[in-house]
Amino acid sequence: MGNISFFRKLGFKIALPFTLVGLLPLFTGIFFLFKYTEGLIRDDACNNLGLLAKNTEEEVSRFMYSCVADMKILAESEDMENTEIHADKKLLAMRKIQDYYKRFEDITMIDTKGRVITSTTYNYRGEWRSKKWFLEAIKGNVYVSDAHVILDPYKVVIAIAVPLTDGNGKIQAALVGQLNMERLWEITDHITIGKTGFVTIVNDQRCFVAHPSKEKLFQQAPFDTDKQSGIVEAIGTDSERFIYNTEKYINKMDYESPKWQIVVAQEKRDALSNLSRLKYKVIYTLIISLALVILTSIFVSRRIVSPILALIHGMSRVSDGDLSYKASIKSKDEIGLLVASFNDMIVRLDKARQEIQSKTEALHDAFNKISLLNVTLEKKVEERTKELREKQHQLVQTGKLAAIGQLGAGVAHELNNPIAGILGYAQFMLDTISKENLKIEDVRTFKKYLQHIENGSRRCKEIIQNLLQFARKAPEDFISLDVNGVMEDTLALIEHQLLVNKIVVIKNLDECVNLILGNPIQLQQVFTNIIVNAQQAMPEGGQLFISTRNENETVIIEFKDTGCGIPEEYKDRIFEPFFTTKMNWKGTGLGLSICYDIIKNHNGNIVVNSQLGKGAVFTIILPVKSDKNEHPDGSRKEAGTDTGS
């Protein structure tokens, strides 16, 4: 008995589904519990951050309101409104406000032309007239700018500009207080959220104007302030993600103030710390449950596998040929029924083995008889195949003779002209010789006429040889050949018939056409059939375009006529044996069928494209010569290849 790997043992296969069935519902329930709980905790954390952002916004609003109120109180004081009071006395009032509240870095009085009248500490030499807060103040509006940096001293401040009027309400100057942002930062920096949370203020350019880490001031904030809340990647060098909530800073008074967003952010891991603790508790519970399920499944699988192992031992004995073995496992469950069936099977196997031995001997004798019949059948199949091949050769030869019959009239007319000339010259010479006085001029004339007779005889011999070569049974050899040469030989045989029938042949033969492996006599028969068919399709004369070209690894031979064309319903049948559209027994219906078989035997293809009344195009596609050219029966296409089909 072969060794079984642990993962293929029946005990493992029983314990694994048992464990999965036990743990799968538990895992599924815990998964959905986590998803639901995580959503609740995340929503609760976002709500808490949102509440804190709202509280911070209210505190910032109160602080900003009090600062603006201080500046308005200063501007509306009697000392500031009285134009007769000296600027130094007004400076004392400004310093009193500055020293009392400790909020302003500087308070400056500027006349309507942008010139500094007096200032508490700020030694500003810039152009006030271009500052928006100054322009708004001299228009009579209160304006609070966004955070910006002053250089002397280097501070981050907010400009609060209020108009300064005289007793008649006429604007005489602008009072600008540079509010130190450190007083505002004290509000945001002292708010703590968990271990990693913080409060920041982002302006309308999405830059930090308040942040616990002051080096981040005026840097681009990653928060999408268009959203109420969201999640962003790490802020800084941390690899943790942050969840955040925003609250828009709203000015409740009738003056323009900076467009700020109060953002409260906290690391997602810190915000969801309760969920992490819950996960750890659940994981411990799962580990204990998994251990209990595995132990239970192992116990159950052992109770099932032990009798099966004993039965396997008995089967090993039987496989060694001991059919006298009987299993002695006593059980009243399915295993007991299996043991009983096993013992009964052994008895049946012993009886079957004896029957098989006797039947094997009978089958051996029958096999010998069948082998003899197979040999006889193979011989008969080979004989029938040989007969069929000979019939196919006869059919090809019949088609060729039919084509010769169609060429007969043209060949007879072709022979008539030179024979008539030979006869005339011979009669003239006989008449001249019968005279008594033979002159030297007559001898010269005889010599010229004999030359004409020789030329005419050679022409007749050439015509008859071409016809005999075409009529001769084609050899079965496939040789390397040039299709242009075969085409020229074909046209030489049939050119007179084409001329008589007013057929103009227009040739476009590629001089660089590749060599193919084929039988020239068979291909000449194909070309002749197609050309004769084209001539018969043009009874009033016409044009026949013949071309050859290379295309990929094939040679294309194309015949295009200007005849009557082929009806659409006949195009799929023209290559069928004995199918013809010629009436009065002018065709046998074998020509194109034989052409099709010959081209297929050359591992090629022949296709037709035609429209009724617009002529027909026959295209022959033959593979170029290569070492991979093979005969359809699998042999190499060389000498001795069968051409019948």
Q: How far apart are CA 230 and CA 335, in angstroms?
A: 63
Model confidence at 239: pLDDT above 60: no
**CA-wise closest residue to 136 among 162, 109, 108:** 162
> Which of the two residues, 505 and 230, has the higher pLDDT score?
505
Q: What pLDDT was estimated at residue 430? A: 73
Q: What pLDDT was estimated at residue 639? A: 34
Model confidence at 4: pLDDT above 90: no
Report the range of poorest mean pLDDT among 157-161, 234-238, 422-426. Answer: 234-238
Strands 503-509 vs 542-551: parallel, antiparallel or unpaired: parallel
The contacts of residue 108 (CB under 8 Å, 6+ apart) are 116, 118, 119, 120, 122, 124, 175, 176, 177, 178
Q: Which two tokens stand for residue 233?
A: 């990647």
Reported in sequence order, the residue ranges of 44-102 that DSSP labels E, i.e. its strands, are none
Model confidence at 261: pLDDT above 90: no
Q: Tell me the pLDDT tens digit for each residue of 122-163.
A: 655 567 778 888 888 888 889 998 888 887 678 888 889 999
Q: What pLDDT was estimated at residue 632? A: 44
Most confident of 7-11, 231-235, 309-313, 388-392: 309-313
Model confidence at 544: pLDDT above 90: yes
CATH code 3.90.550.10 for 474-645: no
Report the range of poorest mean pLDDT among 277-281, 562-566, 602-606. Answer: 277-281
> Which of the two residues, 278 and 167, has the higher pLDDT score?
167
Q: What pLDDT was estimated at residue 196? A: 80
301 and 14 in contact (C-beta within 8 Å)? yes
610 and 571 in contact (C-beta within 8 Å)? yes
How would residue 14 be classed by pLDDT, with cut points 50, 70 and 90? low
Region for residue 635 given its phi and psi (left: phi exceeds 0; alpha: psi -120 to 50; beta: otherwise): beta
Cα-only R_g, the chain: 57
201 and 218 in contact (C-beta within 8 Å)? no
Q: What pLDDT was estimated at residue 75? A: 84
Q: Which two tokens stand for residue 639?
A: 């000498």
Q: What pLDDT was estimated at residue 561? A: 93
Of all residues in the chain, what percent carry a pLDDT higher than 70? 71
Mean residue pLDDT of the chain comes to 76
Q: How far apart are CA 209 and CA 114, in angstroms?
A: 27
> Which of the two residues, 50 and 482, has the higher pLDDT score?
482
222 and 235 in contact (C-beta within 8 Å)? yes
Q: How far apart are CA 348 and CA 353, in angstroms?
A: 9
264-281 burial, b if ≥16 CB within 10 A, otherwise e? bbbbbbbbbbebeebeee
Residue ranges of alpha helices (H) inside 537-590 are none
